[in-house]
């Protein structure tokens, strides 16, 4: 997996943990979250296998995990919490936020707030009429280039520790206006040419949503996505003043992470309610960029082979992936969702490895 997960923790904690929240929706606590609960065996899973891997998670074999939930055929079949965490505790999900932002872009298209993906990025930011380093490449930047991390913007989030001025996150954290800072960056190549993981691109998507819908992304998410899913405990971090952090600023409960996975598994439907168009979810979960280590990237979503042999169902596991071991795994072929949270900031502890063990529990 790309090295972006291995940040230098100390300054990251100082910069991130004390960001102000832009919105928290406490609301009434739902009694059962509308999750039907079932035994693993009734849903074609070996309960002993699930318990084995859950026990390993609790014992630290996959780093410091905080939760592990398994959903099969729409039913919650396993739920475990570790290290003092519990069902009601909000958890920072880091870049799982990006997948939520991708969902919101599709909803904006469906509702007509966003006319098409062919619109130019700069057109959504008229308050910055003359960004620095203007070029034909920057003028050609479109929404899909942000969705697929192929913006062409100069960005380094992987090779330098976050306390280094060479890390682009350091510059973003210290910028008085995040949107202006990102739009002012030089281009290193034409958009659409090369993958470069860029949290700033996801932040810009939040700005596009705000301009297109006339309200910030957290308000859109609360009313249009979370409320229909029955998700009432939510928190968003703020970036620079007035800018909601749509790159890594969302806090959710693990059960609600599982709901988002189920929404993607059902191609945007929650029961009889269609929240996101199915075609958009398919597009999000389609591989648009092939990467190293047999990983792929769609629209703000990762993917990996379903089998150890990448030739078999090469991108069968779709992943919302957050720094420190926050995961939503969606496995359409097995009709299965796995959600987990962790604090694997200095060492991932093989955090992604447990998914193969859990999938081995399938018996039908």
Q: How does pLDDT run across 239-274, given as a tens digit for each residue?
A: 999 999 999 999 999 999 999 999 999 999 999 999
The distance in angstroms from the start CA to the end CA of the chain is 30
Tokens read off for 254: 């693990």
Q: How confident is the model at residue 75 (pLDDT cuts 50, 70, 90)?
A: very high
CATH of the domain at 66: 3.40.710.10
* pLDDT tens digits along 85-96: 999 999 999 999
Where a domain ends, among 207, 232, 252?
252
Q: How confident is the model at residue 12 (pLDDT cuts 50, 70, 90)?
A: very low
Separation CA 115–CA 35 (nearest Å): 35
Residue 73 shares a structural domain with residue 145? no
For residue 352, the model assigns a pLDDT of: 84
Other CB atoms within 10 A of residue 168 CB: 23
For residue 22, the model assigns a pLDDT of: 52
Q: Is the pLDDT of residue 280 over 70?
A: yes
Residue 334 shares a structural domain with residue 360? yes
Residue 245 shares a structural domain with residue 103? yes
Q: Is the pLDDT of residue 158 over 90?
A: no
For residue 9, the model assigns a pLDDT of: 39
Where a domain ends, among 217, 233, 252?
252
Mean pLDDT of 147-168: 90
Of the listed ranges 23-27, 115-119, 198-202, 243-247, the least confidently predicted one is 23-27
The answer to whether residue 7 sits within a structural domain is no
Tokens read off for 163: 């306390």
Separation CA 107–CA 199 (nearest Å): 21
Residue 74 shares a structural domain with residue 96? no
CA distances from 6 to 12, 164, 170, 292, 327 (A): 11, 14, 15, 17, 16
Q: Are 265 and 330 in contact (CB under 8 A)?
A: yes
For residue 342, the model assigns a pLDDT of: 96
3-state DSSP assignment of residue 305 = coil
Tokens read off for 357: 């063990």
The answer to whether residue 24 sits within a structural domain is yes
| pLDDT more than 70, % of the chain | 88
According to DSSP, the residues that pair with 322 across neighbouring strands are 326
The answer to whether residue 203 sits within a structural domain is yes
Mean pLDDT of 28-45: 78
Residue 70 shares a structural domain with residue 212? no
Task: Give the closest residue to 177 by CA, choosing from 131, 119, 133.
Answer: 131
Residue with tokens 């300054």: 11
Q: Are 321 and 302 in contact (CB under 8 A)?
A: yes
Mean pLDDT of 112-140: 97
Q: Is the pLDDT of residue 190 over 70?
A: yes
3-state DSSP assignment of residue 227 = helix
Residue 242 shares a structural domain with residue 287? no
Rounded to two decimals, the pTM is 0.92
Residue 239 shares a structural domain with residue 270? no
* 59 torsion bin: left (phi>0), alpha (psi -120 to 50), beta (else): alpha
* pLDDT tens digits along 285-296: 999 999 988 899
Residue 134 shares a structural domain with residue 173? yes
The answer to whether residue 47 sits within a structural domain is yes
Residue 282 shares a structural domain with residue 223? no
Residue 264 shares a structural domain with residue 328? yes
CB burial of 84-102 (b: ≥16 within 10 Å; e: otherwise) equals: ebeeeeebbbbbbbbbbbb
Residue 54 shares a structural domain with residue 118? no
Between vectors from CA 343 to CA 90 and to CA 316, what angle results, nearest 5°? 90
For residue 16, the model assigns a pLDDT of: 43
The answer to whether residue 155 sits within a structural domain is yes
* pLDDT tens digits along 218-242: 999 999 999 999 999 999 999 999 9
Residue 110 shares a structural domain with residue 247? yes
Domain count, the chain: 2
Q: Which domain holds residue 149?
A: 15-31+90-252
Where a domain ends, among 252, 286, 305?
252
CA distances from 102 to 204, 230, 280, 302, 314 (A): 12, 20, 9, 12, 22
Interaxial angle between packed helices 96-110 and 199-213, expressed in degrees from 0 to 180 and rounded to the nearest 10: 30
Tokens read off for 221: 């998410």
The answer to whether residue 5 sits within a structural domain is no
Q: List Cβ neighbours of 263 (8 Å cut-off, separation of 6 or more).
A: 103, 229, 269, 270, 275, 276, 281
The answer to whether residue 247 sits within a structural domain is yes
Mean pLDDT of 56-84: 96
Q: Is the pLDDT of residue 6 over 80?
A: no
For residue 18, the model assigns a pLDDT of: 39
The answer to whether residue 9 sits within a structural domain is no
């Amino acid at each position: 997996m790309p090295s972006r997960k291995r940040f230098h923790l100390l300054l990251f904690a100082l910069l991130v943990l004390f960001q102000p929240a832009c919105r928290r929706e406490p609301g009434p606590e739902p009694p059962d979250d509308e999750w039907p609960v079932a035994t693993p065996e009734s849903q074609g899973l070996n309960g002993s296998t699930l318990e084995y891997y859950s026990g390993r998670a609790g014992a630290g074999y996959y780093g410091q995990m905080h939760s592990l939930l398994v959903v099969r055929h729409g039913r919650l079949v396993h739920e475990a919490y570790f290290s003092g965490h519990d069902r009601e505790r909000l958890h920072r999900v880091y870049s799982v936020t990006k997948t939520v932002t991708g969902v919101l872009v599709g909803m904006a298209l469906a509702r007509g707030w966003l006319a098409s993906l062919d619109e130019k990025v700069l057109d959504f930011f008229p308050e910055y009429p003359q960004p620095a380093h203007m070029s034909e490449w920057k003028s050609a930047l479109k929404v899909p280039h942000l969705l697929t991390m192929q913006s062409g913007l100069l960005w380094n989030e992987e090779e330098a520790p976050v306390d280094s001025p060479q890390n682009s996150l350091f510059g973003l954290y210290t910028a008085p206006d995040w949107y202006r800072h990102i739009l002012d960056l030089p281009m290193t190549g034409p958009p659409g040419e090369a993958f470069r993981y860029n949290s700033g691109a996801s932040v810009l998507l939040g700005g596009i949503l705000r301009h297109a819908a006339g309200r910030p992304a957290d308000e859109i998410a609360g009313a249009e996505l979370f409320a229909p899913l029955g998700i009432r405990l939510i928190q968003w971090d703020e970036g620079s003043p007035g800018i909601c952090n749509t790159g890594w600023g969302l806090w959710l409960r693990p059960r609600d992470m599982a709901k988002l996975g189920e929404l993607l598994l059902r191609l945007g439907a929650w029961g009889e309610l269609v929240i996101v168009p199915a075609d958009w979810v398919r597009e999000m979960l389609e591989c648009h960029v092939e990467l190293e280590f047999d990983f792929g990237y769609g629209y703000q979503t990762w993917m990996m082979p379903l089998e150890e042999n990448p030739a078999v169902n090469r991108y069968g596991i779709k992943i919302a992936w957050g720094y420190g071991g926050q995961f939503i795994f969606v496995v359409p072929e097995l009709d299965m969702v796995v959600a987990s949270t962790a604090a694997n900031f200095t060492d991932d502890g093989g955090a992604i490895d447990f998914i193969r063990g859990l999938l081995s529990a399938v018996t039908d």
